[in-house]
Structure 1
Amino acid sequence: MSILRAEGVTRSVLLPSEETLTILTGVDLVVDPGDRISVVGRSGSGKSTLLNLLGLIDAPTTGEILFDEQPVRALSSARRDRLRGASIGFVFQQFNLLPGRTALENVMTPLLYEPGAGFWRRRAIATRMLENVGLGHRLDSTPDKLSGGEQQRVAIARALVRRPRLILADEPTGALDLGTGQSVMELLERVADDTDAALVTITHDVAVAARSTRHYRLDAGHLRSVDEMVVAP
């Protein structure tokens, strides 16, 4: 059974001039457990809009998003928020760490919404996740005391601390140098492998995209499989 399915998804917005701007057109995508998917596209092609739809942050104008084969549109706002918090992990290009909070406190934050033992053991769980990403010695460091690569690893630890089934990475290496970026991708893939999570990476970097097993291009709002385009006669 798929984790997430997009069927004929479109997204459009009404401009102040009352003209309609179409951002996504007829997007179809199936995400299964363990998938490694990359989406490339130029700036303004709709990548961030697509990520918000896949992450249940936004709703399509037409078409359907299904999670565990259940239409997301039918869920209440509260149930959708709980589903996103429990099952989807976001890795943002700009990290979005809480300033003034330690690495440990940043990673503990998602566990404040964890039921039962996950809530009460949040410090131990967050500590173990930071150790997994090689930052066991930086638990008490605030973001301003961390390098760019260390901040990204904290962001990854925070995204994965609830063991999400779907990981959405938005330009995860965009702010990093080549060597650090490669290390971050290796780390992200390794931790995802541990839980058989699906990993969807939005990127403009062809080297990052090449690490995936399924490749898509977003162009003028249309999502196309690069793999199918390559093998087509």
Structure 2
Amino acid sequence: MPVSLHEDGALVSLSGVARVVSLPGRAPLQILAGVDLTVYPGDHVSIVGRSGSGKSTLLNILGLLDVPSAGEMVFGTEPVERMSERRRAAARGASVGFIFQQFNLLAERTALENVMTPLLYARGRQFWQREQLAGAMLERVGLGKRLQDRPARLSGGEQQRVAIARALVRSPRLILADEPTGALDIATGASVMALLAEVAAESGAALVTITHDPKVAALASRHYLLQDGVLEPGRQAAA
């Protein structure tokens, strides 16, 4: 089941969230420190930070791939600390779409098969109509004629569109994009971001973009800077 919204309408909220990693023979490494962030349906949030600032860790926490070491996180109406690993996986599969910088497409599968992959874990209509839904989403991103092509036969921009289609095919409430234009040229990157924002807006999903590129960040309506594990709201800064 898709995530239910908190009583204040929030999709996900973090309060004082920290992430600390234990290292053998060394002092614990603090990656995030006291992060506060609330994301609502329809939000377009950008988080800018240099490499090593904790951006990917924050994305993994938002997407229920990781859990905070301290602080509070509520996903919809559920405190994450009370969610089992199985429940987090179910909520992630139903409500979160990930778009990665390196695409992470399956090389031996066609574009259609790549986009169908998340639907293999769906139920009901989404499972039984997975091929039609995947084909329709690829059509939506302009790849209706490339369904049977494998990633090696697609350009970088086309591969990214397949990754976007895969992330959106289950109609997630939260879309997390990690350096979504990092492997693309400027023109293709701008086109991809415009498409991603358009599709997210049409579905009412929240879009959180993790980036080091101020130009990509500027496309969002809310901006944050992550520096040394500390998230500062209301700022844009060159990375």
Please state which band the TM-score falls in when normalised by the shorter chain.
Answer: over 0.9
> What is the aligned partner in structure 2 of residue 75 from structure 1?
83
Cα distance in 1, alignment partners of residues 194 and 173 from structure 2: 18
2:194 paired residue among 183, 186, 189: 186
Aligned-partner SS, 2:98: strand
Is the 8 Å Cα contact of residues 102 and 140 (structure 1) preserved in structure 2?
yes
Matched, 1:147 2:170: no
Whichever residue aligns with residue 137 of structure 2, its letter is M
How far residue 76 of structure 1 moved from its aligned partner, in angstroms, is 1.3
Is the 8 Å Cα contact of residues 112 and 119 (structure 1) preserved in structure 2?
yes
Counterpart mapping for 1:1-233 below 5 A: 1-227=9-235
Task: Tell me how many residue pairs correspond in the alignment.
Answer: 229
Which structure has greater helix proportion? 1
Cα distance in 2, alignment partners of residues 175 and 69 from structure 1: 36
Gaps of at least 5 residues in structure 2 are: 1-8
Runs of 4+ deviating beyond 2 Å: 226-229
How far residue 228 of structure 1 moved from its aligned partner, in angstroms, is 10
Cα distance in 2, alignment partners of residues 54 and 154 from structure 1: 23
Aligned-partner SS, 1:154: helix
Is the 8 Å Cα contact of residues 5 and 69 (structure 1) preserved in structure 2?
no
How far residue 27 of structure 1 moved from its aligned partner, in angstroms, is 0.2
TM-score using structure 2 length: 0.94
Say which is worse superposed, 66-75 or 161-170, in terms of deviation.
66-75
Cα distance change on mapping 1:123 and 1:10 into 2, 3 Å = same
Is the 8 Å Cα contact of residues 33 and 196 (structure 1) preserved in structure 2?
yes
Aligned-partner SS, 1:138: coil
How far residue 169 of structure 1 moved from its aligned partner, in angstroms, is 0.2
Gaps of at least 5 residues in structure 1 are: none
How far residue 25 of structure 1 moved from its aligned partner, in angstroms, is 0.2
Whichever residue aligns with residue 194 of structure 2, its letter is E
Is the 8 Å Cα contact of residues 217 and 236 (structure 2) preserved in structure 1?
no
How far residue 70 of structure 1 moved from its aligned partner, in angstroms, is 1.5
Whichever residue aligns with residue 114 of structure 1, its letter is A
Amino-acid identity (%)? 62
TM-score using structure 1 length: 0.96
Cα distance in 2, alignment partners of residues 206 and 99 from structure 1: 31
Cα distance in 2, alignment partners of residues 121 and 99 from structure 1: 23
Cα distance change on mapping 1:22 and 1:145 into 2, 3 Å = same
Whichever residue aligns with residue 97 of structure 1, its letter is L
Is the 8 Å Cα contact of residues 218 and 224 (structure 1) preserved in structure 2?
yes
How far residue 227 of structure 1 moved from its aligned partner, in angstroms, is 4.2
Aligned-partner SS, 2:52: coil
